Structure 1
Amino acid sequence: MNRLWERLRGSLWPLPVLAVVLAIGLGVGLPALDQTLGQPGGEHPLTFVFGGGPTVARDVLAAIAGSLISVTGLTFSFTVVALQLSSSQHSPRLLQTFVTDRVVQSTLAALVGTFVYALTVLRTVRTDQSEGDAFVPRLSVTVGFVLTVLSVIGLVLFLGHLARSLRVESMLRDVSEEAQATFDRELPHDERGADDAPAFGLPEGEPSIVPAASSGFVVDVDGPRVAQAAEDAGATVLLASRIGDSVVAGTPLAHVWPAPAGARADVDAVQRALEQGVRLGFERTPQRDVAYSLRKSVDITVRALSPGSNDPTTAVHGLSHISALLGELVTRPLRPTVLRDGSGTVRFVRPQWDAPELVRLGVEEPLQFAGGQPAVLRRLAALLRELAFRAPRGSLDDELVALLVRVGELARDTTGIERAETERWDRALHDALAGRWPAEPC
């Protein structure tokens, strides 16, 4: 059920389709209500409803339907072109954020829903030449007019939202909000630090390898399901990949330590549970992948440093978001997910990113392309200092010091930044590692 819900949330079509269904129901129900409320002479008990005849009603409904479907196609054609240009400049993975945008989904739903409603009501209008008496669904036409006005307002608001969304600052903000939601789901803060987490060990002996049946990215893992199958088989399962990692068919998906008796049967049962419990997709998704939003921010930053863009200001802004994401990650409990049975025996282990790997993911590629950019190199040095201050004492000292050495060497070799400044970066980093942030004179 959760998988279905995530797929619906990550698709553009569910809300518009729901709007179409509701529009058809409304387009059938309101004319029936009009028929019930109708009075001799064509009078209507409700005031301020449509007062024209059948021909005018047909013209109004036809105009609503024709104009809205044209505006829908034209607007979203321009939108797709603008997004393609933006994605080629910043990152193709940002299109995924557009598809899940509620404003986009709601606007499309309003436009197509009003179009379908107008068509559905149009079929009920009868003129004098039609079979039977003339019939004008006055309330239904009035509701169609109101829906059209609301659709136009929604279209104007959508264009304003689109103009803001295409700005790189808005994209970075959306990615950061997406990341925060993922962190809260997957890495909730707890009172117990990583050092206080219960230790676990894997069984001795050579494990059996369970190969992947297909290729793709690990997007979801049903840990309790696999753990239950492992408990029933008396086995212990170690997943070979993290959520977000790429898996190739035929390569190890998991390692299984089976029970001594009936080992082959045990592995077969656990393999079936892994095939059902580990979901592979053709692309990474942000629902459970804690590193994916960081990857997007890195992509935007690196694109800004490419010779085709040469936009150091965007790179500096991107590094600020990377610093915020990394600073949040290193304060979270980054440890493997371990599921045990009732007796405390480890049954399933899912690996997780650790802090040094995430820091390398966030810093190494921008550093690779930061040569000759003083502002970017200064921001990288500040990023490392910020991480040093936020990270638990002693957890990242070696990694941060090594990265700052590379930043300083690159600054001296490719820019006019003097050694005295890089030495100040070094002192500031060591102060931050010790939990100090000295006040500096203005």
Structure 2
Amino acid sequence: MLREHLRETFWFAPTVSLVLVFVVWALADAVDTLIVDTLRREEDFRSLRELMAIADDAKTIVTTIASAMMTFIGVVFSISLVAVQMAAGNYSPRVVRIFIRSRISKLTFSVFLSTFLLSLLVLTAFESERNPREVTSVPVVQSILTLLMVALSLLLFIAYVTQTLQLMKVGPVVDRVTKEAFGALARMPKPVAPGEPLGEETVRISHQGRSGALRDVEVIRLVRVARRHDVVLRLIPRVGDFVVPGTPVLTVHGGAGRPLPFAARRALQSAVSVGVERTFQRDLSFGLRQLTDIGLRALSSAVNDPTTAVQCLDRIVQYLAVVAHRPLGTVYHQDRKGRVRLVQPVSGWDDLVDLGFAELRGCAVGNPQVTRRMMAGFEDLLQLVPPERRAPLERHRDMLVRAVRQSVREPAEGDFALEPDRQGIG
């Protein structure tokens, strides 16, 4: 859970890289000092003078690097702000997290800052002493390391601009959102039988802390505490729900009526993570939420881009097709002996279908491209899902047909708008 939360921050990677720069510089400085000591011990002053001449030339280069890197960093930062602003305005504010989580963005920013800091540290290692017999260090290795960092910065800058330009297009954005949604689905445990009844509820654990969205739960810790005290835990809110202080988040069942120790209660409370925004960690519906938001923004009168809405529908149908045969509604987490220790509610099939189609269906009327793609999506999913999951799809399809018929006076136009077409208007 900590690793996932650190990915949601932008400060961690640059901070770690700056600390590593000090370590690498200290090692390089030690190597330079060792080289000078060896040459002086062997009285090879000719080689030492040549080394000092190389260092003098390198000093000019390192000085130029130090003055240019801050400008380079400003360019990268400006590109990032423009890309984030365009993504938030054109797609959805929730897709900004794609740029925050981007590894190449963090790596590029970290390497640029590290190169700037390293160049400053190398400049401090240059000595004014010109006598080879008295000089203590010649920063040749440090200068070479700085040049290598500059070369790495240039390569990363190319990769960074390429990725940023890709993420300014709607196709790669919805593809990234879909991949993260499938990642959340893959992190769910394999379906298991419910096991024995939960038993009588003995205690409720309330949330203590700030208000916010339930971002994640530390399943391993919850299962460990439940196994240690021989109880079964049930998570009350779903991941993604908004909770306030005092909201019950866990119920404890079993344990022969014995109250949980204070330490166990604190461990259970700390295993529930609440934050300002939702994340993909164990949140099955957050991906559909983002795809729907992008589609709704595209169908607004200010944007009027039905093709983008069709691209979102493509991914919504893809996601629902994958979960069509997957057990939904409740997830049972087991301990090492196979006993259920944590019961976690997740989005059900009806919830996912409503999230994927309800809002887009209401805005699709008047856009034949979108209604035709939606009808094709219903047709495909109805062929894939088991019979017990057909009802919500048929309900949304019937409501879409009625809405189109009521809004279009010409029957031929209505027939055209309701003809299934996987390309919208292919």
TM-score (norm 2): 0.85
- Contact preservation (8 Å) 1:165, 1:171: yes
Displacement after TM superposition at 1:178 (Å): 1.2
Partner Cα separation in structure 1 for residue 20 and residue 256 of structure 2 = 59
User: Judging changes above 3 Å, is the alpha-carbon distance between structure 1 residues 337 and 127 closer, same or farther for their aligned structure 2 residues?
Assistant: same
Structure 2 counterpart of 1:293, from 287, 290, 295: 287
Displacement after TM superposition at 1:366 (Å): 0.8
Q: Per-residue displacement from partner, 1:152-198 (whole Å, max 9, x unpaired)?
A: 2221221122111111111111111111222111155x6x7xxxx34
Structure 2 counterpart of 1:394, from 367, 384, 387: 387
Q: Which residue of 1 aligns with 2:183?
A: 181
Matched to 1:81, the amino acid is V
- Contact preservation (8 Å) 2:320, 2:352: yes
Matched to 1:313, the amino acid is T
Structure 2 residue 47 is the aligned partner of structure 1 residue 43: yes
Which secondary structure state, in structure 2, belongs to the residue aligned with residue 254 of structure 1?
Answer: strand
Displacement after TM superposition at 1:424 (Å): 6.3
Partner Cα separation in structure 2 for residue 134 and residue 210 of structure 1 = 64
Which secondary structure state, in structure 2, belongs to the residue aligned with residue 395 of structure 1?
Answer: helix
Structure 2 residue 407 is the aligned partner of structure 1 residue 406: no
Matched to 2:100, the amino acid is V
Q: Per-residue displacement from partner, 1:387-436 (whole Å, max 9, x unpaired)?
A: 22222x212221111100111122223346645557866xx9xxxxxxxx
- Contact preservation (8 Å) 2:214, 2:239: yes
Q: Which residue of 2 aligns with 1:367?
A: 361
Partner Cα separation in structure 1 for residue 418 and residue 239 of structure 2 = 39
Q: Which residue of 1 aligns with 2:217?
A: 221
User: Judging changes above 3 Å, is the alpha-carbon distance between structure 1 residues 153 and 349 closer, same or farther for their aligned structure 2 residues?
Assistant: closer
Q: Per-residue displacement from partner, 1:252-277 (whole Å, max 9, x unpaired)?
A: 32344566755xx3597875443122
Which secondary structure state, in structure 2, belongs to the residue aligned with residue 43 of structure 1?
Answer: helix
Structure 1 counterpart of 2:10, from 2, 9, 12: 12
Partner Cα separation in structure 2 for residue 70 and residue 421 of structure 1 = 56
Q: Which residue of 2 aligns with 1:82?
A: 83
User: Judging changes above 3 Å, is the alpha-carbon distance between structure 1 residues 153 and 117 closer, same or farther for their aligned structure 2 residues?
Assistant: same
Partner Cα separation in structure 1 for residue 260 and residue 144 of structure 2 = 67
Partner Cα separation in structure 2 for residue 231 and residue 149 of structure 1 = 53
Q: Per-residue displacement from partner, 1:40-85 (whole Å, max 9, x unpaired)?
A: 4462699xx895453x433321211121122112321232133123
- What is the identity percentage for the equivalent residue pairs of Structure 1 and Structure 2? 28
Which secondary structure state, in structure 2, belongs to the residue aligned with residue 309 of structure 1?
Answer: coil
Structure 2 residue 237 is the aligned partner of structure 1 residue 241: yes
Task: Between 225-234 and 208-217, report the one with greater CA deviation.
Answer: 225-234
User: Judging changes above 3 Å, is the alpha-carbon distance between structure 1 residues 228 and 156 closer, same or farther for their aligned structure 2 residues?
Assistant: closer
Partner Cα separation in structure 2 for residue 143 and residue 268 of structure 1 = 54
User: Judging changes above 3 Å, is the alpha-carbon distance between structure 1 residues 363 and 122 closer, same or farther for their aligned structure 2 residues?
Assistant: same
Aligned pairs for 1:106-255 within 5 A: 106-128=107-129, 132-133=134-135, 136-186=138-188, 188=190, 197-198=193-194, 201-203=197-199, 209-214=204-209, 215-223=211-219, 225-227=221-223, 229-230=225-226, 236-255=232-251
Displacement after TM superposition at 1:249 (Å): 2.1
Partner Cα separation in structure 2 for residue 53 and residue 227 of structure 1 = 60
Q: Per-residue displacement from partner, 1:81-115 (whole Å, max 9, x unpaired)?
A: 33123212211111111111111111112211111
- Contact preservation (8 Å) 1:34, 1:140: yes
Structure 2 residue 302 is the aligned partner of structure 1 residue 308: yes
How many residue pairs get matched? 412
Which secondary structure state, in structure 2, belongs to the residue aligned with residue 348 of structure 1?
Answer: strand
Q: Which residue of 2 aligns with 1:333?
A: 327
User: Judging changes above 3 Å, is the alpha-carbon distance between structure 1 residues 258 and 270 closer, same or farther for their aligned structure 2 residues?
Assistant: farther
Displacement after TM superposition at 1:288 (Å): 1.8
Matched to 1:119, the amino acid is L
Which secondary structure state, in structure 1, belongs to the residue aligned with residue 234 of structure 2?
Answer: strand
Which secondary structure state, in structure 2, belongs to the residue aligned with residue 253 of structure 1?
Answer: strand
Task: Between 156-165 and 29-38, report the one with greater CA deviation.
Answer: 29-38
Partner Cα separation in structure 2 for residue 384 and residue 236 of structure 1 = 39
Matched to 2:5, the amino acid is R
Unaligned runs of 5+ in 1: 429-441
- Contact preservation (8 Å) 2:65, 2:119: yes
Which secondary structure state, in structure 1, belongs to the residue aligned with residue 360 of structure 2?
Answer: helix
Partner Cα separation in structure 2 for residue 397 and residue 308 of structure 1 = 35
User: Judging changes above 3 Å, is the alpha-carbon distance between structure 1 residues 62 and 337 closer, same or farther for their aligned structure 2 residues?
Assistant: same
Which secondary structure state, in structure 2, belongs to the residue aligned with residue 350 of structure 1?
Answer: strand
Partner Cα separation in structure 1 for residue 148 and residue 405 of structure 2 = 65
- Contact preservation (8 Å) 1:30, 1:139: yes
User: Judging changes above 3 Å, is the alpha-carbon distance between structure 1 residues 15 and 236 closer, same or farther for their aligned structure 2 residues?
Assistant: closer
Which secondary structure state, in structure 1, belongs to the residue aligned with residue 388 of structure 2?
Answer: coil
Structure 2 counterpart of 1:22, from 20, 23, 41: 20
Q: Per-residue displacement from partner, 1:323-348 (whole Å, max 9, x unpaired)?
A: 11121122323242235689988653
Partner Cα separation in structure 2 for residue 128 and residue 234 of structure 1 = 73
- Contact preservation (8 Å) 2:227, 2:335: yes
- Contact preservation (8 Å) 2:334, 2:341: yes
Q: Per-residue displacement from partner, 1:121-144 (whole Å, max 9, x unpaired)?
A: 111111247995385422322332
User: Aligned-pair RMSD on alpha carbons?
Assistant: 3.3
User: Judging changes above 3 Å, is the alpha-carbon distance between structure 1 residues 210 and 29 closer, same or farther for their aligned structure 2 residues?
Assistant: closer
Task: Between 300-309 and 242-251, report the one with greater CA deviation.
Answer: 242-251
- Contact preservation (8 Å) 1:226, 1:277: yes
Task: Between 79-88 and 307-316, report the one with greater CA deviation.
Answer: 79-88
Unaligned runs of 5+ in 2: none
Partner Cα separation in structure 2 for residue 45 and residue 180 of structure 1 = 61
Partner Cα separation in structure 2 for residue 186 and residue 45 of structure 1 = 65
- Contact preservation (8 Å) 1:104, 1:158: yes
Aligned pairs for 1:266-281 within 5 A: 266=260, 271-281=265-275
